[in-house]
Amino acid sequence: MPPERRVGFAVMGLGRLALEEILPAFAECKAARPVALVSGSPEKARAVAAQHGIAADSVYGYDEVARLSENPAVQAVYVVTPNGRHRDNVLAVAKAGKHVLCEKPMANTSAEAREMVEACRAAGVKLMIAYRCQYEPFNREAVRLVRSGELGRPRVLEATNTQVQGPADQWRLKAALAGGGALPDIGLYCLNGVRAVLGEEPVEVFARIVNPQGDDRYAEIDETTVFMLRFPSGAIANCAASYGAHESKDLRIRLEKGWIDLENAFAYRGQRMRIARRKGDDEAVEELRLGAKNQFALEIDHFADCILQDHEPRTPGEEGVQDQVLMEAIYRSAREGTPVAI
């Protein structure tokens, strides 16, 4: 698509994800281009604008978001700020009349998330939550294969997302800005991933949190959260998120007539998928090969296409609300030590 017909995005919050993944991903987009920045660091923003061919007068501060309404080149804003800022940021963008792509987790609470959905509806703008794995080809194939029924009914799923957390002086360890710890940051991929694969909603959750003793980093948030989800079909998902264990981001699905192992399911790259199919008393194992694609570019292009063609995104605000509701139930279960019905 020629540049002038592509959807113009403002990127809000120039931190690690925006600088290392999102802005570079625009180079691989077919329907989107970066045209503005919103940042609290004007000097950094000017340098980033120059690097990405964004006009110097299209750099805004957080208190200038209303002025986006005067810039017709901006059709959408990608919110990439800390979780606890998403609600205010999304409300401001909606008020400026721009479509919003908001990073995960959507917000700190389900009440905030509902407010965001309502604000975007009232403003007549689209809201999508950036669940990048739902745009990643191997994850898509896992969803397709499970839902096709070819391997029978799914019975047991295992989703793990672990990565060792850094030092204490960062927003991810502060409840007000992060909304929680390992659960909303990385466990959310397990939660959203198993819901996507099964295409149904859990009816019960059961969770445990384990925090290391005497580690100040986990005074406010969870280090390790393990949770079980029971689905109406009878499928069970065991999920684990931890800031204490070496990186692993895998999804394993056990079905009546086979299994699917998706290594690095929740990573930026490096997915590897093996599929086993029962053959009589034996099984045939196949490794699936798919071309490498940038999942951030696929996700951004999906939202751009939704704007151009007036479609509802695959992962709308309501999808984020549901995950917030479930995360609240997971925390409640861990607190009370009992299963919680949804």
Where on the chain is the footprint of ligand NDP (CB under 6 A)? 13-18, 39-41, 80-83, 85, 103-104, 130, 132, 171, 177, 185
Q: Which is nearer to ligand NDP, 19 or 245 (CB)?
A: 19
Measured CA to CA in angstroms, residue 133 lies from 51, 136, 171, 233, 328 at distances of 28, 5, 24, 23, 22
**Three-state secondary-structure class, residue 210:** strand
Measured CA to CA in angstroms, residue 181 lies from 33, 168, 174, 198 at distances of 33, 12, 8, 25
Please state the closest distance from residue 13 (CB atom) to ligand NDP, in A: 3
Please state the closest distance from residue 20 (CB atom) to ligand NDP, in A: 8
DSSP assigned state of 153 = -
Please state the closest distance from residue 185 (CB atom) to ligand NDP, in A: 6
What strand order describes the sheet that includes 127-129? Answer: 59-60, 32-38, 7-12, 76-79, 99-102, 127-129
Determine the angle formed by the axes of helices 110-123 and 86-95, rounding to 10 degrees.
10
Q: Which of left, alpha, beta for 337 (phi over 0: left; psi -120 to 50: alpha)?
A: left
Please state the closest distance from residue 179 (CB atom) to ligand NDP, in A: 9
Please choose, from the candidates 291, 286, 263, the residue with its C-alpha nearest in 3D space to the C-alpha of residue 275.
286
List alpha helices for 28-85, DSSP H.
42-51
Please state the closest distance from residue 86 (CB atom) to ligand NDP, in A: 7
Q: Which is nearer to ligand NDP, 14 or 329 (CB)?
A: 14
Active-site residue set:
104, 189
Please state the closest distance from residue 170 (CB atom) to ligand NDP, in A: 7
Long-range contacts of 305-312 (CB under 8 A, 24+ apart): 305/31, 306/126, 306/128, 307/7, 307/75, 307/76, 307/99, 307/126, 308/7, 308/31, 312/126
Phi, psi of 17 (to 5 degrees): -65, -45
Q: Calculate the CA 318 to chain-centre distance.
A: 13
Phi, psi of 86 (to 5 degrees): -55, -40
Q: Which is nearer to ligand NDP, 84 or 258 (CB)?
A: 84
First to last CA, the chain: 45
Q: Which is nearer to ligand NDP, 80 or 91 (CB)?
A: 80
**Amino acid identity, residue 74?**
V
